[in-house]
Structure formats: C-alpha cells, structure tokens
A and B are shown apart, each in its own frame.
Chain A
Amino acid sequence: METKNIMIVGVGGQGTLLASKLLGRLLLGKGYDVKVSEVHGMSQRGGSVVTYVRWGDRVCSPIIDKGQADCVLSFELLEAARYTEYVKPGGRIIVNSQQINPMPVVAGAASYPENLVEKIAGLGIQVDAFDALTLAEEAGSSKAVNLVLMGRLSKHFEFTTQEWMEAIEHSVPPKFLEMNKKAFALGQSA
C-alpha cells in the first residue's frame, strides 16, 4: 500500500503527543510499519507543535514533507492555517475551531486572521471544522480535546471501533478511561 500520512498540529500543552501515541499503538497493532515523529524541548512552551504519523508497508522518512499529508488533524484553527502547504492535493484538514491567540496577537503586534475555515476550503482542501473543546467539556474535561479529535478522525479511516478502543485503553490512565471513551464517541458522532 501507499504510505499514509497524518500530521497532528496544535499548541504546546494541548495533548498532541497522546494523540500520536494512541495512533501509533493502533497502527502497530494492525501490522503496519509505523513512524511517529515528535518535537520536544523549547517549542513545547506554548509554541506551535507538529507530530508526524506515517504508516504503510515500509516507511522510511520519519517526517512528512510539503504536499504529502493525507490529513492534517489540527487542535487549533490558526495552526490548521499554518500547515495547509503540507496537505496533498485532495487531502483533508480536520480542525478544532477553538482559537488560541499566539503572543504576537496577544501583544497587539498582529491580528488573528478571520474566516480561516472558508479560506482554507478555498484552496481546494476538504475542511472539517467543529468545536471539539465544547464536546471535550461535555465529556468531562477540556483536556479531552485530543480524544474528541481522534473520534472525528476515525470516521475517515478504516479501523474498527474495537481497534480504537483497544488503543485508547492502552494509552490513557484507567482513571480517565471512561471520560476519554466518551470524548471519542462524541467526536465520532458529531
């Protein structure tokens, strides 16, 4: 099979690493060759963060280059806009419509662009924008945005609910399991 590429982007501290851990677990269980590339250190401090998830028969590069992503899963709206160049023709962006102002906007040196969903769609990218934060809060915690987005992502890939659940059980602490499963289900049905 051709290698599949998902980029997970967001703001440092939003829980993107758990999302990639969960996906990695799921894909390895399916017998694929998998590579997951993360960023640690300096850029985690509230900065723009990117994780690459790739799977197929044989995956070589750990990173996704411009024009290669089948899907960008974005935890924040501006971050989706930042990485449109990485989406392959006909590719998709799934985005939490939450807006988190970056420091230049907070400080008044720049403004948060308007109508980003429409503008991204105007590039010919399929955009699936929805309020994952509210669904996460409904599930029990704003921290569950990652599982809501995973639920949404599951609609576009051929894995069974059982496979997803097995990966979730292995990736989140038992204490938060029910809440995370609920968040996943809310994302899936939203």
Chain B
Amino acid sequence: MKTLMLGNEAVARGLYEAGCCFVSSYPGTPSTEITECVAKYEEVYAEWAPNEKVALEAALGASLTGKRSFCAMKHVGLNVAADPLFTISYTGVNAGLVIGVADDAGMHSSQNEQDSRHYAKASKIPMLEPSDSAEALSFAKLAYELSEKFDTAVLIKMCTRVSHSQSVVETGERVVPEQKKYEKNPAKYIMMPVNAKRRHPEVETRTKALTEWAEQTDINRIEPGQDTSCGIITSSTCYQYVKEALGDTYPVLKLGMIWPMPQQKIKDFAATVDRLVVVEELDGFIEAHCKNLGLSVSGKDLFTNIGELSQNLVKEKLGGTVQTGTCLAEDIPARPPVMCAGCPHRSIFYVLKKLNLTVLGDIGCYTLGAVAPLGAIDTTVCMGASVSGLHGFVKAGGEEMEGRTVAVIGDSTFIHSGVTGLINIAYNESNATVIILDNSITGMTGHQQNPTTGYNLKGDPCTKIDLESLCHAVGIQRVRVVDPYDMDTCQKVIKEELAEKEPSVIISRRPCALLKYVKHPGPICSDPEKCKGCKACMNIGCPAISMVDGKAKIDATLCVGCGVCEQLCKFDALGAKE
C-alpha cells in the first residue's frame, strides 16, 4: 500500500517489517518519532531508557539473546553512546543490531551541528544514509541483513530533512526471522585485552569485506547525465537538492552507504567525467575519501560546511541561474520560541534573576530561561553539564562562588546524566545548590515519559523513581521541594540553601502546563483602572501579557491563570476573573 510517511515513521515501519523485537532509545529531536512510531506496533517491545548509553547497551543485550534490536538517538546522543559503540564494533552481534542517529544541520533544535558520519569511520561500523522515506524504510530492513551477514552493528544516519519530511512509501509485511540461540563465546563477547587483540583484526577484515560489498551494491548507484563535463557524488538529502536543481544534467554517483565507501566505483565514476564535485552537508567527509584516493575533487571550496544546503545553493554553485523573490524593505521582528503561558519554569528563572545568581543551565525547554527578558542562565553545554559543572565552579571558585551559584536541570535530564554529577558533589563534598526543575515529563522533545513520571513509553503505569529518595541515597542530606508558582517561598528556600554550608537539592515541582491532565484555573483579567503601567509584569516574558496604550493587557486565549504575574503587581491590577 502506498502511503505518506515521515522519514522517522518509515524507519519504524522498516524495523517492524524486518522483525525487530526490541527497541530502547532516549528521545532527541529530530530522532524521537522513530521510537514513538515503532512503539505503536504491539509485536515490538519498545522503551525509553534513561540515556543513550543505557539504550545501546540494552539493545546489544537483546541482540545477544538472539532477537533483532534497535536503538535511536540524536547526533549528540551518539556521544553519550560512544563508549559501547566502539567496543560493539569488536564484539559484533548475534541477531541484527541497528542504531539510528539523526543529525541536525542548521541546528533547528540542537546545541551543535556535529557530523555523525565521523563516528562510523572512527568506530568502524558501517553507516547507511537514506535520502527519503522510501529509502528509510528499505535501508532499515537492509541494515539487519548487513548486520547479520557481516557480524556488525549497523548505523542508519538520518538528518532533520529526511527525519521530518513525509514522502511516499510502499509498506510490506512483517517477517520475523527464526530466533538465534545465545551461545557463550568469551573470545567474542569478553573484550579484555587478550580477546580484543584477536578481535581487532577481524574488524579490519570485516571492513575490507564491507568495502567489497560497497563496490557491488546498487544502493551506491550511478545515475547517468547528459553532460559529462561535471560528475557529482552525493548522498542523503543533498542528493534530492542535486536532482531538484539540476535534474539529469550531470551524472550522479548516489551513495546509500556512507561508510565504508567504495574505492574502485568512485575512481571509475571520476574517470567518466571532466570535473568531480562532492555535494554534502557539514564536513567534507566524502570529499576527504576522494582525496585519499588521489582524485582531484571540488567540495567544500564550493559548499559551506556550516548549516544546511538547498536546491538554490546547488544551482548557484554549479552554473544555473537562481530566481528568488523579494523581501519587504523594513525589518520584520523575529519570532523566537518562548516559554509557554503557565510554564512552571518561568517563575523560578524570575527569582534566580532577581537574586542575581550565576546559573549553570542544561538541555531542555528551560534553556529558554536564557532569553530576554528573563536572561537568567549563564551556561548551556550538554546533558547533565549543569550539575557537574557547578561542582567545578564552586570547588574552584571557593566561598565567593558558593553562595551565589546554582545549577538548573530538568527531571529527565537529571536522570539522563545529572545524577552522576550529583554523586560527585556528594562524594567530593562541594557546597553546591542544585535545582531540579521537575515538570513531570520530557518537555522539549514533545512529552515523552521518563523514569520519574510513573509511566512507560507504551503509556502503562510503571515504577516511578522518587527524586527525593534518589538525592538522599547518593548522599545529599538537604533536599527540599517547592512549588515554582509560589515565588516568595522559592526565593526564601533558595536563599536558605545557598547560605547552608553543605550541598543541597531543591526540587521545583509542578507539571508542564501543556500536559492534558493539568487543570488550570482559566484566564485572568487586567484592571486598566488599577494598572499604573509600571511594566513589572512584563519582566517574566509571558506571551499572554502585553502593554496596550500603556496598560497591561491579558490575552485570554493564551492565559491559563497560573497567578505568577499577580504576585508581581503591586497595584492589584491583575487577577480578576472574567
């Protein structure tokens, strides 16, 4: 049946059809929907793991028992999973093991735009790179064949445009291969030096065999063109830009497997054209391979290694004329993302700013506490870095920093990798104050359950990790819980804990305002008679409040009645219900 599917949904369908039985992932844009979609198939066990390293190790375990398994993450998640990745390369698999990784060129929703293809080469694990949803589906199935044929995990590299574009796919039936037996095999699965030394040559032999396969496979295919003055090597979404911009003008070598790459096929292709050009996003990965083969090639001299490419850019650089439209002469104000009306994070950041604290931030919706008018965050690096960074900050900064520095981290991020930083704080005794922003969900990626919510990926009730007990258990004596909507108490508790001479955790607890089960009191009103136009309520950056003719006005379609602005108004002008 022909149907439209997101690239991520198509990967999920491919996993299903390939008989995948076990999926463990951590959410991250743009990879999240792969796991959400595959969880809808009853035949597939799927879960959210606490982080990507745990997810990949769980998937390896499932593979060893003889079931086809899968694990998805965003590009930076692969950094977290890199430890098992490099050694899984040595152990190989039992049943097929496939790893989905989604890059985010252009940083639509990420803190960097690292190019995951380097991981394939560095870990010596083959990587497939689909260019649309149909390939996402077929490559997911092919990945299992390769995984079992060559005894290796296989990476499928997605990117924002492939993950989040819908295109036409044809679905097939699910076929579950016969379950393989687990057999004890210390030489293959115990990677202590004596065994690992024997496995490494196997990895190199496997890479040679995969390179041979890359020469033969039709997923690395040459598409003829009318004009051989130029030949293009490309892959992923860039292949689509090339075809859109240039049609069948120039011959194209389209690579479906991006590591290992063929050698002879590329040399033969180069010999048929006058000039060789590589069109690829981010780093010159294919280009470097071509140069290693001794070929003269253009790539990053034409196309930027920053951000995304597009059909206009390809056309412009390869000789076509580009027609563009017209901008308005005046500046159009930007519309950056904002914290939602009623967001429980807003008031905490207001208090932190009011107290003029240094705030080490983390990854999640609450990163928006960095933007005006709140502007309350000093740093954002990676998952968990707020807590571990705070330890170094106050340990090295001494008493001067201790009393005026905090870390803020969400519930899911804390479980992902904040808790290890907290263990360091307890163990190495830094006088640190950590604020866990517990909104009872993984927010930014679109409401995924996590170990602290009491529900699993399939939506069933499950064990709920108790944050207070967890903090106590790792050695933090002082753990306090506040309601972020109550700003006076928040301020008092934060000041008290900063003054204490021992580490403490403050849990700011209130569920995300967008969760369906959360009941709101409903919109408030402003009283123009009482409003003095002092703009105190504007300091929280709530999208529901604006100044109209010098008076605060509440947008009733957005306001949920959280009451935070009411606490800021000295003239009692906010709060009357409609």
Residues in chain A within 8 A of chain B (CB atoms): 11-12, 24-25, 28, 33-48, 59-63, 65-67, 69, 78-79, 81-82, 84-89, 91, 101-113, 116, 119-120, 123-124, 142
Contact = CB atoms under 8 A, between A and B. Distances in A.
A103 B2 contact: no
11 contacts: A38-B164, A40-B29, A42-B29, A42-B108, A43-B109, A45-B339, A61-B243, A67-B312, A84-B328, A103-B371, A112-B333
Interface string B320-342: 00111111101111111111100
Tell me whether chain B's interface is mostly helix, strand or loop, or mixed.
loop
A102 B333 contact: yes
Interface in B212-254: 237, 240-241, 243-245
Given A37-B161, A67-B325, A107 B168 contact: no
Interface string B543-558: 1011100000000010
A61 B557 contact: no
B167 A34 contact: yes
A72 B330 CA distance: 19
A106 to B, nearest CB: 5
Q: How large is the interface on B (under 10, 10 to 19, 20 to 34, 35 or more residues)?
A: 35 or more
A85 B397 CA distance: 50
A61 B109 CA distance: 21
B312 A28 contact: no
B369 to A, nearest CB: 12
B172 interface: no
User: What 6 A-B pairs come out closest when comparing CB atoms?
Assistant: A41-B109, A41-B29, A62-B165, A47-B337, A102-B335, A45-B337
Contacts of A105: 333, 546
Contact of A84 (B2, B167, B325): B325
Contacts of A113: 328, 330, 332-333
A39 B311 CA distance: 18
Given A66-B325, A85-B327, A124-B326, 10 more contacts: A33-B168, A34-B168, A41-B444, A43-B109, A45-B444, A47-B336, A82-B332, A113-B330, A123-B325, A142-B557
B136 to A, nearest CB: 12
Nearest to A113: B330
Which of A47, A65, A79 has the most chain B CB atoms closer than 10 A to its own CB?
Answer: A65
A189 B535 CA distance: 43
B328 A123 contact: yes
B176 interface: no
A87 to B, nearest CB: 5
B503 to A, nearest CB: 32
Contacts of B535: 108
B546 A101 contact: yes
A94 to B, nearest CB: 16
Contact of A34 (B33, B166, B310, B371): B166
A120 B322 CA distance: 22
Given A40-B109, A65-B310, A88-B325, A45 B365 contact: yes
Contacts of A44: 337, 446
Contact of B165 (A33, A36, A82, A101): A36
B326 A85 contact: yes
Contact of A67 (B164, B323, B331, B335): B323
Nearest to A3: B244
B164 A39 contact: yes
A18 to B, nearest CB: 13
Which of B32, B161, B328 has the most chain A CB atoms closer than 10 A to its own CB?
Answer: B328
A114 B231 CA distance: 50
B333 A104 contact: yes
A161 B369 CA distance: 47
A102 B240 contact: no
B337 A46 contact: yes
A46 B325 contact: no
A115 to B, nearest CB: 10
B413 to A, nearest CB: 15
Contact of B545 (A82, A87, A106, A110): A106
A1 to B, nearest CB: 15
A61 B241 contact: yes
A82 B247 CA distance: 30
B445 interface: yes
Which of A34, A38, A87 has the most chain B CB atoms closer than 10 A to its own CB?
Answer: A38
Interface in B507-525: none
A5 B167 CA distance: 14
B3 interface: yes
A142 to B, nearest CB: 6
Given A28-B2, A66-B312, A142-B557, A37 B340 contact: no
A45 B338 CA distance: 6
Contacts of A35: 132, 165-167
A69 B371 CA distance: 32
Contacts of A111: 333
Contacts of B331: 110
A123 B557 contact: no
B30 interface: yes
Contacts of B4: 24-25, 28, 34, 36
A170 B112 CA distance: 38
A63 B6 CA distance: 14
Interface in B418-448: 444-446
Contacts of A86: 325
B368 interface: yes
A107 B546 CA distance: 7
B361 to A, nearest CB: 14
A6 to B, nearest CB: 14
Contacts of A87: 325
Nearest to B330: A113
Nearest to B543: A46
B538 interface: yes
A152 B110 CA distance: 36
A89 B323 contact: yes
B125 to A, nearest CB: 27
Interface string B54-96: 0000000000000000000000000000000000000000000
B557 A89 contact: no
Given A81-B332, A106-B543, A107-B373, A62 B325 contact: no
B165 A38 contact: yes
Contacts of B241: 60-61
A65 to B, nearest CB: 4
Contacts of B14: none
Contacts of A38: 6, 164-166
Given A63-B310, A65-B311, A105-B333, A41 B445 contact: yes
Contacts of A123: 325-326, 328
